[in-house]
C-alpha cells in the first residue's frame, strides 16, 4: 500500500484547518476539478502584499481537501509573490508525498492553483 493515505493527509481531510469563509475578503475565488468533482473556494485577507488570513471551503477527495487545508496553514504570512511561486514540489512536500499520478496531482494542485489565480486577479486590479 502506498502512503498516499498516510496520517497527514487523513488528518487534514477529517480535521481540516481554516475551513470556512472570510467575511469581506480581499480574495475570493472558486474552481472545480472536473475529474473528481472537487470544488474549492479560497479566501484571503491581505495586509499590503502579505496574506494575513487564508481559508478554504469546499468538498472533494482526501487529496484535494488535505492539500487545501495544508495550503491555508502554509500560505498565512507569505507574500503574494511567494504564494504565486508555489509549485508541485512544494505541494507534494506539504502532503508528505514523493509523487502522485498525473490524475491525482490535479486534485493536489486544485487549492494552490485556485488561490494563485485569485491573487493574480487581485494584483491586476490593484494600481501599483
Partner 1 sequence: MSLDAERLREDFPILRRTFHGKRFVYLDNAATTQKPSCVIDRLSEFYRLYNSNVHRGAYTLAEEATDLYEKSRANISAFIGGKPEELIFVRGATEAINMVAYSYALARLEKGDTILSTEMEHHSNIVPWQLLQPHGLRLDFVKLSGKGELSLEDFKEKITRRTKLVTFTHASNVLGTINPASEFAKIAHDNGSKVLVDGAQSVPHMPVDVRELGADFYAFSGHKMLGPMGIGGLYAKSDLLEEMAPFQGGGEMIKEVGLDASTWAEPPQKFEAGTPNVAGSVGLSEAVDYLRRLDMSRVREHEKRLSAYALQELESQEGVRVFGPGDPERRGGVISFEVKGVHPHDLATILDREGVAIRSGHHCAQPVADWLGVSATARASFYIYNDHTDIDSLISALGMVRKIFGRRA
Residues within the interface to partner 1 (CB under 8 A): 1-2, 4-5, 10, 14, 35-39, 59-63, 104, 107
Contact 61, 82 (CB under 8 A): no
38 vs 57 by CB, closer to partner 1: 38
DSSP three-state, residue 43: strand
Q: How far is the CB of 103 from partner 1 (least distance, A)?
A: 9
44 vs 107 by CB, closer to partner 1: 107
Contact 57, 67 (CB under 8 A): no
Q: How far is the CB of 58 from partner 1 (least distance, A)?
A: 10
Contact 72, 94 (CB under 8 A): no
Amino acid at each position: 500500500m502506498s502512503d498516499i493515505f498516510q496520517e497527514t493527509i487523513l488528518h487534514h481531510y477529517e480535521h481540516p484547518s481554516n475551513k470556512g469563509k472570510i467575511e469581506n475578503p480581499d480574495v475570493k475565488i472558486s474552481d472545480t476539478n472536473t475529474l473528481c468533482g472537487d470544488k474549492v473556494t479560497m479566501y484571503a485577507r491581505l495586509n499590503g502584499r502579505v496574506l494575513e488570513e487564508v481559508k478554504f471551503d469546499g468538498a472533494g477527495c482526501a487529496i484535494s481537501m488535505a492539500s487545501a487545508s495544508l495550503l491555508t496553514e502554509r500560505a498565512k504570512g507569505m507574500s503574494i509573490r511567494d504564494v504565486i511561486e508555489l509549485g508541485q514540489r512544494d505541494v507534494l512536500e506539504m502532503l508528505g508525498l514523493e509523487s502522485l499520478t498525473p490524475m491525482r496531482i490535479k486534485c493536489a494542485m486544485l487549492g494552490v492553483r485556485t488561490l494563485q489565480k485569485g491573487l493574480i486577479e487581485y494584483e491586476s486590479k490593484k494600481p501599483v
